[in-house]
Amino acid sequence: MRFYEYESRRIVERAGIPVTEYGFCTTAADARAAAERIGGRTVIKSQVLTGGRMKAGGVRFADTPEEAEAHAAEVLELEINGHMPRGVLVDPKAEVAQEYYAGVVWDGTAKCPLMLFSDMGGIEIEEVAEQHPDHVGRGHLVSRLIDPPEFRAKEVIAAAGVSGRELTRATPILTSLARLFRDCDMTLAEINPLARLSDGSFVALDAHMEMEDEAKPRQRDLLERVLGIDPADARLPYEPSEFESNVKAIDSADHRGVIQGRDHGFDGNLGLVIGAGGGSLTLTDAVRSQGGRPANYTEIGGNPSVSKACGLAKQVLKKDGVQKIAVMMSIVSNTRVDIVARGVIKACLELDRDPGDTIAIFRIPGAWEEEGYKILDRYGVEYCDRSVSMWEAARRAVEKIQGAA
């Protein structure tokens, strides 16, 4: 889960890292008041969950509160990469002597968080690492089992070529960032730029935080009490479609089994009612590689009820442009073949569709398959067992829909 800049600032502030006296505003009048309170020159920054704000005109400078108000009014209406801002952040224009980068990320291979520091802040760290590797220090946490000690942060900053008072002042900041990364279950915690002001003090001018979704239940205090985030605020990288929202609602209404549905990026005529995790990936590839055009992506797992399987199939069938559905899974050992068969047939009947014509292929081998195949026989649905590969089943579905078109 990605945080807005104003939330990320609050998170670093809470960890004891100095930030400027900023104001988060949702109206132009508030922005003017914030600029008056701050005094002097200010920066107005769009609060969107996407990069490229500067280029899109989402970051502006104001000399007076009136100017801040005018900029805020425009920025609040400015869409950036398809996102409307949630508000603006009004920040004092700081007197910066130098910009640094401080970050903590996961290193999956080492299975350990990695600290990064650079004295070339304000630009993408990947770019610095490529062009000026000697200006990037990096080092893993000493241990995942204890609160990060300061010395490793000091080593990382020193490895970036930083010494003197800058080193001793930046060390507690990187240490605090590593601690909050661990305490708050972040997958990414960046301060960029971390600025050294003309008086020598360090301050976080921008922050980017992402939290692991799996940790949200135990981070409720931070999310809801401190940041006031609505638990329903999913923050997907795009707006969920009607299909996606409906599938989610069906899944939540019944605890038996798990279903998921996506149609972002799909617009074909063959509806997919497929599973489980790896099986769905394999089958989607198999359909596309053989010229099929999937209308969606789904995952079925954990032995859903008849009504859940039926609900999913109905949502797929109701999608615009869907002519037939393919019901396919890798060999199942927990999900029951007969229950899925019943569900998809029920969906066809309830929508006045002939199951034998609507279901292009049914390929789910495994638990309770004999019972399932009997039901499918009765409705004239073409099915196959494990002797027919996932690839071949997908081919048959594609062939049928192309024949129908």
Binding site for other proteins (CB under 8 A): 106, 108-109, 111-113, 143-145, 182, 185, 187, 212, 214-215, 217-218, 237, 262, 264-265, 275-282, 284-286, 288-289, 297, 299, 301, 329-334, 366-367, 386-387, 389-392
- The smaller minimum CB distance to other proteins, of residues 22 and 373, is found at 373
Closest to other proteins by CB, 112 vs 351, is 112
Collapse the DSSP code of 194 into the 3-class scheme (helix H, G, I; strand E, B; otherwise coil) and give the result: strand
**Rounded Cα–Cα distance for residues 206 and 362 (Å):** 52
SS3 content of the chain, % helix, strand, coil (to 5): 40, 25, 35
Q: Work out how close the CB of 74 gets to other proteins at its nearest, in angstroms, rounded to a whole number.
A: 28
Nearer to other proteins, 93 or 288 (CB): 288
> Between the CA of residue 31 and those of 44, 168, 204, what are the distances in Å?
8, 36, 21
Q: Which is nearer to other proteins, 27 or 241 (CB)?
A: 241
- Give the ranges where 55-135 is alpha helix by DSSP (H): 65-76, 125-131
Cβ of residue 336: shortest distance to other proteins, in angstroms? 11
Q: How far is the CB of 106 from other proteins (least distance, A)?
A: 7
Which residue, among 132, 158, 319, 174, has the nearest Cα to 244 in the 3D structure? 319
The tokens describing 158, both together, are: 């020193």
Locus of tokens 């969606």: 296
CA 243 to chain centre: 19
Give the nearer residue to other proteins in terms of CB position, either 58 or 294. 294
Q: Which is nearer to other proteins, 166 or 185 (CB)?
A: 185
- Return the number of the residue (132 or 216) whose C-beta is nearest other proteins: 216
CB of 167 to other proteins, least distance (A): 28
Nearer Cβ to other proteins (121/261)? 261
User: Whole-angstrom Cα distance, residue 147 to residue 180?
Assistant: 10
Show the tokens assigned to 193: 């730029």
CB 17 within 8 A of CB 173: yes
Shortest distance, CB of residue 45 to other proteins, whole angstroms? 22
Closest CA to 313 of 285, 281, 343: 343
- Least distance (Å) between residue 396 CB and other proteins: 14
| Whether 75 contacts 30, CB under 8 Å | no
CB contact set of 187 (below 8 Å; sequence gap of 6+): 105, 106, 210, 211, 212
Q: Using alpha carbons, select from 116, 180, 108 the residue that is nearest to residue 148.
A: 180
* Least CB distance to other proteins at residue 110 (A): 9
